[in-house]
Amino acid sequence: MNKLFKILLVLLISSTAIAQDIKYLRYDTDLLSSQFHKNRRGEVRKQMPENSVAVLFAAPVRNRSNDNDYAYHQSPDFYYLTGNTEPNSMLVIAKNEIEIDGKKSNEFLFVQRRNPFAEIWTGRRLGIKGAEQLLGFDAVFISGDFENTNIDFRNFSSVLILREPTGVVSDRNAQDDLWMLIDNFRSKVNANAVPDLHGKATVLDSVQLDDILKELREIKQPEEMTLMRKAVDISCDGHIEMMRKTKPGMHEYEVQAVGQYVFEKNGSEYVGYPSICGGGENSVILHYQTNRKKLSDKDLILLDMAAEYHGYTADITRTLPVNGKFSPEQKIIYDLVLQAQDSGIANCLPGNSFMAPHNAAVRVISRGLKELGIIKSESEYRKYFMHGTSHYLGLDVHDAGTRGNLKTGSIITVEPGIYIAEGSDCDKKWWNIGVRIEDDILITETGRENLSAKAPRTTADIEKKMEETSPIFK
């Protein structure tokens, strides 16, 4: 009787889950369209060599502890080409139309199957129908069935792949396991590889697809720019509230909570990267993440924090005096960094070298540090400015790009900094002053646009903003 009851329960839950209205899979109305992703696949296909196929895998699920996983985050490349935010998936793009198990197309998506029991715990899945209707694919298969599909890689002159996802582990309880999906792909490729005249099997191309995607993702499309502007605007609002709220006696994590509350209140699903909230001696640690210190009256706090919105992230840094007023030494270093940033931003022009903003910032900082007596020779600037000034921004905080000359439609950061740790070989009055100022710069046809200019940058504007009362946190 118990066995019969279980069977009936499975059938009941299964039929109910499969019948769920497709609308419950998506609540946001401003996601990238399925046509956007289809167009991106088309652009990849244009650059693929004749008679080739490209294969991409979703990101793995990552375990936090015991039976708890981290919140799932899709591979940016996979999301860019599919819009699929689920794990255990694979995309196949063919240069020309091919047939797999009776379905003819030049793009095939493999997704995890609907699982009524799993969906009770972790939410609804796309399945084949969801992928067809929401993601716009005509040829969709279940990932666990890939092993038995009739795709023969001997028919292609080249197989383009990306570097395999790291941290993939076998889940014996999963029907559509990413580990098994990748293993089956390896088996198919190895089994079907055609030895050349020297008896060596065909080598997969792990470079060309990466180069194609770097070039495409570097230039943001109009739909992407809408989401980027939203992410940046949300992030600026968070920084403004942190300016209004930061006071001596708060902990770094309290300031962090103010910013992240504003991010999520305005629709951000995640932070773009682990929040850096370093006060006093922690302001000189580039990627400080502990965020536990209690802030004192004379501290600076360096806030490198930003929101991610529908996959796209901002990257903004502001440095604040905890008591609301910069000391003379703090202001001198801050203004030097600001001057360097202004010089870097001025060099954000289409056609300029990717390194032009960095080189401009270095010239200002190296000269300024020498004039202040903090370094003896301009060549010593790396003691206190030890990182690059720019990186691309988009689906990754350090986004894909060619690092060639700056192009219209690309977004880069400009983020010089000076970090003078306690014990440094200079006057003690400079110790524990860490300043970074970071903005998100869109390269336009005629110059650039500072997307994050809404967040105050000058010492005067920051001090004025810190005098305001927060309308959110009384």
Residues labelled catalytic: 67, 287, 304, 315, 387, 391, 398, 415, 419, 436, 438
Q: What span, in angstroms and rounded, lies between the C-alpha atoms of 85 and 36?
A: 15
Q: How many Cα atoms are found within 13 Å in the side-chain-facing hemisphere of 150? A: 7
Q: Is 140 helix (H, G, I), strand (E, B) or coil?
A: strand
* Cα 257–chain centre separation: 21
What distance in Å separates the CA atoms of residue 219 and residue 392, rounded to the nearest whole number?
10
DSSP 329-360: HHHHHHHHHHHHHHHHHHT--TTS-TTHHHHH
State the Cα–Cα distance between residues 143 and 139, nearest whole angstrom. Answer: 12
State how far Cα 312 lies from the chain centre.
6
Name the nearest CA neighbour of 58 among 40, 21, 83.
83
Is the CB of residue 220 less than 8 Å from the CB of residue 438? no
CA angle 399, 403, 407 (to 5 degrees): 90
Residues recorded for the chain: 474
DSSP helix/strand/coil, 449: strand
